[in-house]
Amino acid sequence: MNYNELIDSAIKAKEFAYVPYSNFKVGAAIITKDGKIFTGCNIENASYGATNCAERTAIYKAISEGNRDFEAIAIVSSSGNFTPPCGICRQVIAEFMPNGIVILANDKGEIRKYSTSELLPIKFDLL
């Protein structure tokens, strides 16, 4: 599959980031297996712990609208470099997209693809 539309959606979502503390914008876009795209950006808060990452924003938005069958997620940042998901986001991705693809894109148009299990080989599980 060509993931250009997904990456473009993540780039657009990045511009909505609310980052008054770090000035580090992140955008994410997740696609369902039936082709629906949901986007998210990072949203900071003065009480830091209430901050939410772009990846989780996109995933939670999709889930809150009844979608749970994901194929891939694209992640971009204002750094211009590849920006992998944090540990919390890796855990969330592993739970909701265990067989998916994580796509990182930089400002040079280069991409890197990882399977979810490559980024988090052993996820936490209550079962």
pLDDT tens string 19-52: 999 999 999 999 999 999 999 999 999 999 999 9
Please check whether residue 112 lies inside any domain of the structure. yes
**Could you tell me the two tokens for 94?**
């592993």
Q: Determine contact, residues 26/76, Cβ cutoff 8 Å.
A: yes
Of 39, 43, 6, 50, nearest in space to 24 by CA: 43
Domain housing 115: 4-119
| Domain count along the chain | 1
Please check whether residue 127 lies inside any domain of the structure. no
Distance CA 15, CA 4 (A): 17
Residues of the chain with pLDDT under 70: none
68 phi, psi to nearest 5 deg: -140, 5
Please check whether residue 38 lies inside any domain of the structure. yes
Please check whether residue 108 lies inside any domain of the structure. yes
Q: Which sequence positions are flagged as catalytic?
A: 55
Please check whether residue 125 lies inside any domain of the structure. no
At 17, which CATH number?
3.40.140.10
The model's pTM is: 0.96
pLDDT at 1: 73
Please check whether residue 124 lies inside any domain of the structure. no
Please check whether residue 126 lies inside any domain of the structure. no
